Amino acid sequence: MRAKGSRKGKQAGDVGAGKKMEKDADNLIWGVNAVREALETRSLGELVIQKGKGGPRIQKIIDRAREQGLRVRFMPPDRLRVPAGCRHQGVVGRKSSAVFLPFDRLLQQIGDGSEDISRLLILDSVQDPGNFGSILRSALAAGFRHVIFPRQRSAPVSGTVARISAGAVSHLQLCRVANLTEAMKSLKKHGFWMYGAVASDSGASIYETDFSGRVALVVGSEGRGIRPLVQHHCDHLVTIPMQSDFDSLNVAVAAAIIMFEMVRERRG
């Protein structure tokens, strides 16, 4: 009886795993031509190349993806997650749930005043899809319209992120960049002040900080916070004062609190 029950459990697990693989496959595009076309329409959130694959056509795809700020990963064939028997040619693209704004276009909008851009959200290495989606949802609610994040150290803007964001990804201008610190330098030249969110006494209270003018809020990863080099390029560090020694606010919750305080302070 025990062996029979174990067999049933295994079969149920196999069915669940199979459904998950089918769902993953729905978000994938494979093959050189199909992936190249998807790149031209900027409909990919991530590019995966099979380790050991190369050649001029694949290299052009890699170069094009990097030009767009797309995350590129190299993986063994058994981790490509494509359906068995498909002819993927070592090239797999994961569909994105958003259209991305090129960083140079964002700078152009800021420079020529074609859009009223005075608040930016910068996410440094937020890799959990749940936190990523929650932050995007709060950003839209707080009135932030532009979000910048690195292509290599962020969760892809997948269907999961879109669902958790409650559709916010469709209303935000999302911008992926190859080098976050260089992007911050460029924004400073356009008059933006960088406010880095930290969970320590080294930051000033958000309730005593002047957030007027052009401001960018920098939020770090779930575990380590803002990377040292990124923090070095912040003009100010800010923190949420706690009423006790308990300081383990979820990054999505902390980001929401600070964004709404920035808006409240400006309106006040």
DSSP conformation class of 99: P
204: pLDDT confidence band, cut at 50, 70 and 90?
A: very high
User: Distance between CA 200 and CA 246 in Å, rounded?
Assistant: 11
User: Distance between CA 48 and CA 31 in Å, rounded?
Assistant: 11
Contacts 24+ apart (CB under 8 A), 129-132: 129/155, 129/158, 129/160, 129/161, 129/164, 130/160, 130/164, 130/252, 131/222, 131/250, 131/251, 131/252, 132/157, 132/161, 132/164, 132/165
What residues contact residue 43 under an 8 Å CB cut-off, 6+ apart? 95, 96, 99
b/e burial code for range 103-114 (CB count within 10 A of at least 16 → b): beebbebbeeee
Residue 58 pLDDT > 70, yes or no?
yes
The verdict on pTM exceeding 0.75 is: no
At 24 the pLDDT is 55
Residue of higher predicted confidence among 84 and 228: 228
Domains of the chain: residue spans and CATH: 24-95 (3.30.1330.30), 103-267 (3.40.1280.10)
Element (H, E) at 28: strand 28-30
Report the chain's terminal Cα–Cα distance, integer Å.
Answer: 70
- Tokens for 156, please give them: 């892809």
Phi-psi sector, 179: left (phi>0), alpha (psi -120 to 50), beta: beta
| pLDDT tens track for 97-117 | 777 888 999 999 999 887 789
At 22 the pLDDT is 45
User: Distance between CA 117 and CA 212 in Å, rounded?
Assistant: 13
Question: What average pLDDT score do residues 147-158 get?
Answer: 88
